[in-house]
Amino acid sequence: MVSAPTGPGHGTTTSLTARHAVVVAIGSSALLPDVTGLREAAPWTSREAAAASEVPGRLAVIGGGVVASEMATAFANLGSVVTVLARDGVLPLAEPFVGERVTKSLLEFGVAVRDGAEAATVNRNGDGTVHITLTDGEQVEADELLVTIGRTPNTQDIGLDRIGLKPGAWLAVDDTLRVVGEDGALLGDGWLYAAGDVNRRVLLTHQGKYQARAVGDVIVARAKGEAIDDGRWGRHVATADEHAGPQVIFTDPEVASVGQTAAAAEAAGLRIRVVDHDLAAVARSALHAKGYQGHARMVVDEDRQVIVGFTLVGPDVAELLHAATIAVVGEIPTTARCRCPTWAVPETGSAITSSPTWRFTDTSSANADLCRTCSCSTIRPKPFPVRSRHPRSGHIQRRPRRTPAVRTHARRRRRTYPSIADHRLRPRQSVGVMVPKRRTPQLAKRGSDPCRVDRRAEPSTVIPARPP
């Protein structure tokens, strides 16, 4: 049963009884540290900074996380003199090279980044100037103060103490997002769920929506008595929260990441391999911007040979995040899979499986090649017949797929004939162009073709070629 004040002025209380489940999805608020005078100084949080109608001349930022980096970049571009007080550095939870590049960019924008700085007291004068005293005694003055050190759940006054939970605490959940107690046991028969920021899995809007869909599906399934798909990447679990949460940090340069960092993967006990690449060495980066600078890191699970993390930093790298997310979620292998035309059979049994970690087998030996991945005998499959049109008659035919060499030869041959309609004429050998019937004549580019088509010409009229 849930009781809540309702009505005009909240003068009445309404009690609601849930038949299946109760979902707590009340989000979180900005966390204000216990610094002397901070609350009395009326600092900005992420909400006030995003809704600001005026640009302060001087802005001080306490924190070095995502919001601090984004707002420092934004207000520096708008003309503010920004000072960042980052006790743990800039973007400490990202890969080390991310914080280094973002810090360098902020310094180029004129932002004063002070690593290791921590506020001791805060005071706002009558003229609105904010005075911040650091723990080392240094003074920092600003017109506005932005505090971005973290979030706190909105669970202070929702009655958690009545069910044995601590008010104001984060709600721990299992894989199907059911709330568990401090001992890890479910509350009652598992009727309480938590989705969004309140469960502290991933504090991102799109991940909150992702959890909401999973919660809705699992509640309906349990209400109908259906089987629960709670395996890895199952329909009723939020696996992406821990393994593949995509995120973009809108700094300059942008930061895009999905999955685990190298430090997080090592802490999880994975045997990893880190692959770094300079994005400036990619050919298309020169087309995107002159002097492009960027970096990419891929974290590979050596035991399973799959990508478990991807981080990029550089201008407009958010465009690459979708492909990286597919690679992490789909567990794309980093080595070539076996292309055997037979089923995968485990070494210890005869059951058919499609697991990439088991050996493929093939007993055939005629015209066989050695598979580089699993050392099995592999027969090349026959060319698969495809439907195509005959280059001359245009009739649909079935023919085997060409090999790369044949396709290359076909391309060269097609270049000899500009179009199917003109296949009877060879421009290099003809002295003029015959305008075919039932075809709109087109002018050729001057200088590229010695022939020119006259739009006023009647069909079957030969026009002398014009000298180049």
Cis upstream peptide for 427 (omega within 30°): no
Nearest to 466 by CA among 452, 445, 446, 456: 452
Say yes or no: 71 and 101 in one domain: yes
Say yes or no: 61 and 132 in one domain: yes
- Single-letter amino acid code for the residue at 445: K
DSSP 432-463: EEE--TTS---PPPTTT-S----TTPPTT-EE
Final residue in a domain of this structure, among 128, 151, 174: 151
In whole angstroms, what is the distance from residue 356 CA to residue 352 CA?
12
For residue range 50-99, list pLDDT tens digits in order: 999 999 999 999 999 999 999 999 999 999 999 999 999 999 999 999 99
Final residue in a domain of this structure, among 240, 258, 291: 240
Say yes or no: 248 and 173 in one domain: no
Residue 79 included in any domain: yes
What domain range is 276 assigned to? 244-329
In whole angstroms, what is the distance from residue 56 CA to residue 72 CA?
12
- In the predicted structure, residue 457 carries a pLDDT above the cut 80: no
- In the predicted structure, residue 106 carries a pLDDT above the cut 50: yes
Say yes or no: 41 and 147 in one domain: yes
Say yes or no: 202 and 215 in one domain: yes
In whole angstroms, what is the distance from residue 75 CA to residue 109 CA?
10
- In the predicted structure, residue 420 carries a pLDDT above the cut 50: no
Say yes or no: 261 and 283 in one domain: yes
For residue range 313-367, list pLDDT tens digits in order: 999 999 999 999 999 998 888 875 444 443 333 333 333 333 333 333 333 433 3
pLDDT score for 467: 54
Chain centroid, CA 441 distance in Å: 49
pLDDT score for 10: 62
- In the predicted structure, residue 122 carries a pLDDT above the cut 90: yes
Pick from 83-87, 110-114, 295-299, 428-432: least confident = 428-432
Specify the DSSP class assigned to residue 91.
Answer: S
- In the predicted structure, residue 410 carries a pLDDT above the cut 60: no
pLDDT score for 249: 96
Confidence of residue 379 (pLDDT cuts 50, 70, 90): very low
Say yes or no: 58 and 135 in one domain: yes
Using alpha carbons, list the distances in angstroms from residue 317 to 288, 295, 407. Answer: 11, 10, 35
Share of the chain above pLDDT 90, in %: 54
Q: Taking the CB of residue 462, how many other CB atoms lie within 10 A of it?
A: 12
Say yes or no: 227 and 252 in one domain: no
The CATH number linked to 283 is 3.30.390.30
pTM of the predicted model, to two decimals? 0.69
Say yes or no: 142 and 161 in one domain: no
The CATH number linked to 123 is 3.50.50.60
Q: Taking the CB of residue 78, how many other CB atoms lie within 10 A of it?
A: 13
Residue 411 included in any domain: no
Q: Which residues is 179 bridged to in the sheet?
A: 173
pLDDT score for 51: 93
- In the predicted structure, residue 450 carries a pLDDT above the cut 50: no
Residue 93 included in any domain: yes
Domains held by the chain: number: 4
pLDDT score for 334: 80
Residue 373 included in any domain: no
Residue at token pair 């100084």: 41
Say yes or no: 282 and 218 in one domain: no
Nearest to 449 by CA among 426, 176, 35, 436: 426
In whole angstroms, what is the distance from residue 312 CA to residue 308 CA?
14
Residue 44 included in any domain: yes
Residue 376 included in any domain: no
Residue 220 included in any domain: yes
Q: Taking the CB of residue 265, how many other CB atoms lie within 10 A of it?
A: 19
Q: What is the mean pLDDT of residues 363-381?
A: 41
Say yes or no: 284 and 303 in one domain: yes
Q: If you average pLDDT over every residue of the chain, what do you get?
A: 78
Using alpha carbons, list the distances in angstroms from residue 281 to 52, 277, 313, 377. Answer: 40, 8, 14, 38
Say yes or no: 50 and 83 in one domain: yes
Confidence of residue 390 (pLDDT cuts 50, 70, 90): low
In whole angstroms, what is the distance from residue 35 CA to residue 248 CA?
31
More confident residue, 95 or 182: 95
Q: Judge whether 165 and 180 are in contact, CB under 8 Å.
A: no
- Single-letter amino acid code for the residue at 274: V
